[in-house]
Structure 1
Amino acid sequence: MEAYKERMVNEYNELLERTGKLGTMLDKYEADELDFEPSCPFELLEAQYHTMRTYLYILQQRAEIEGIEL
């Protein structure tokens, strides 16, 4: 596989993992189940989560167009 394709697959997988972790944290935040107090407002973290999901979608579309298996 070409180097840029490998980087894209790695980027996608890392982003997918981080997005999942942030989503879990937000769910726990809303349920008042966090064992720490975030220093950022919920709304900012939520905006980050939605932006990350949008970027995942863009990477998926690009991979489909370029024939890259994620």
Structure 2
Amino acid sequence: MKLIDTVEMMNSENYKERFRAEYFQLDIRINGLSNMLEKYKEGTLAFTPSCSYEVLYTQLVHMESYKKSLEERAKIENIVL
């Protein structure tokens, strides 16, 4: 799934669909940042980041925590992810 695939859900009248879009977007971004950090460590990035590895890793940790919160809320609200 790509971010563009979530546009319709994001514009839905149904809050559960918007929630799912938020979750999927976050997951896509987590995967992208995780892959980038892997390449950063290996020294194989095609560019030089402005931020340090540590700053980007901290961002990833917070994103993963946010994802866990969304998963917990989804269980409580019976939202199928």
For Structure 1 versus Structure 2, the TM-score category normalised by the shorter chain is over 0.9
Aligned to 1:12: 23
**Alignment gaps of 5+ in structure 2:** 1-12
For 1:57 and 1:27, the matched residues in 2 are separated by 22
Say whether 1:69 aligns with 2:80: yes
- RMSD of aligned alpha carbons: 0.9
**Alignment gaps of 5+ in structure 1:** none
Corresponding pairs, count: 69
Superimposed CA distance per residue, residues 1-53 of structure 1 (whole angstroms, 9 cap, x where no aligned partner) = x6211111000000000000000000000011101000111111000000000
Say whether 1:60 aligns with 2:71: yes
* Corresponding residue SS for 2:43: coil
**Which AA in structure 2 matches 1:34?**
L
Aligned to 2:7: none
Aligned to 1:50: 61
Q: Please give the TM-score of this superposition, normalised by the length of structure 1.
A: 0.94
Among the aligned pairs, what percent are the same residue?
45
Q: Choose which of 37, 47, 72 in structure 2 pairs with 1:36.
A: 47
Q: Please give the TM-score of this superposition, normalised by the length of structure 2.
A: 0.82
